[in-house]
């Protein structure tokens, strides 16, 4: 298949994935609105503001460095995994440390627990991001879209079940974590990837410099 055909084929699957995601998420929102209180949605939204900001820092564009590189070896992907996992450990430690203050600031200790549990996603993200970058580099958008849609079904099933049982904001937090695990397993299977450790500091500097430029 030519490069032009690859691009058109990839664009088609990206469109299908994005459209399907919007439809599923819209339907989920309507149902959850009847199962959860607005204040519970607000708690999750507050947590996501902080974790999404940290996620932007954790990603840092390093994965894009390998997607766009002329060559990307297994050692390069192991290095990316190592860097992202170490950054994730730092972020988790930071959120665990500030969680008590966070709960006091909002006048509800549940905020502290939600922040701690939600931050664990940073230990899962490297297992998700690396195989996703591999599939992106190989332009295997059909596989990525399949994972995206299956993962939405998994996430929504868990969120709706927990919300129906009255678990409030935990419904979305736990569904997000378990959905990330599901997605990581699926992506790893499609990419035939197994995590490895690599401490090539010279190469790490190149990736981090590119990441800083890409995210600036």
pLDDT digits over 23-62, tens only? 877 888 788 888 889 899 999 999 999 999 888 777 667 7
Q: How far apart are CA 21 and CA 27, in angstroms?
A: 10
- pLDDT value of position 47: 95
Q: How far apart are CA 64 and CA 172, in angstroms?
A: 29
Reduced to 3 states (helix: H, G, I; strand: E, B; else coil), residue 109 is: coil
Residues 6+ apart with CB under 8 A from 215: 56, 59, 60, 61
| Phi, psi angles (nearest 5°) of residue 52 | -65, -40
pLDDT at 170 over 90: yes
Q: How far apart are CA 31 and CA 169, in angstroms?
A: 14
pLDDT at 214 over 70: no
Q: What is the DSSP letter of 169?
A: T
Between 77-81, 112-116, 144-148, 212-216, the lowest mean confidence (pLDDT) is in 212-216
Per the CB < 8 A criterion, the answer to whether 66 and 137 are in contact is yes
How many Cα atoms within 13 Å fall on the side-chain side of residue 100?
A: 1
Q: How far apart are CA 182 and CA 180, in angstroms?
A: 5
Per the CB < 8 A criterion, the answer to whether 74 and 137 are in contact is no
Q: What is the mean pLDDT of the chain?
A: 86
User: Distance from first CA to last CA of the chain, Å, rounded?
Assistant: 35
Per the CB < 8 A criterion, the answer to whether 63 and 80 are in contact is yes
Per the CB < 8 A criterion, the answer to whether 190 and 55 are in contact is no
Per the CB < 8 A criterion, the answer to whether 91 and 58 are in contact is yes
């Amino acid at each position: 298949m030519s490069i032009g055909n690859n691009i058109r084929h990839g664009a088609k699957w990206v469109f299908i994935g994005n459209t399907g995601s919007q439809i599923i998420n819209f339907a989920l929102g309507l149902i959850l609105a009847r199962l959860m209180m607005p204040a519970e949605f607000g708690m999750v939204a507050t947590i996501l503001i902080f974790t999404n900001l940290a996620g932007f820092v954790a990603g840092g564009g390093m994965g894009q460095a390998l997607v766009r590189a002329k060559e990307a070896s297994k050692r390069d992907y192991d290095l990316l995994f190592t860097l992202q996992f170490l950054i994730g450990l730092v972020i988790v430690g930071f959120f665990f440390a500030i969680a008590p203050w966070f709960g006091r600031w909002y006048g509800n200790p549940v905020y502290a627990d939600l922040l701690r549990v939600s931050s664990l996603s940073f230990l899962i993200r490297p297992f998700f991001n690396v195989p996703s970058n591999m599939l992106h580099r190989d332009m295997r958008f059909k596989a990525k879209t399949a994972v995206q849609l299956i993962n939405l079904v998994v996430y929504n099933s868990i969120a709706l079940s927990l919300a129906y049982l009255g678990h409030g904001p935990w419904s979305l937090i736990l569904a997000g974590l378990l959905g990330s695990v599901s997605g990581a397993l699926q992506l790893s299977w499609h990419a035939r990837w197994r995590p490895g450790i690599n401490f090539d500091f010279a190469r790490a500097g190149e990736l981090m410099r590119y990441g800083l430029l890409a995210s600036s």
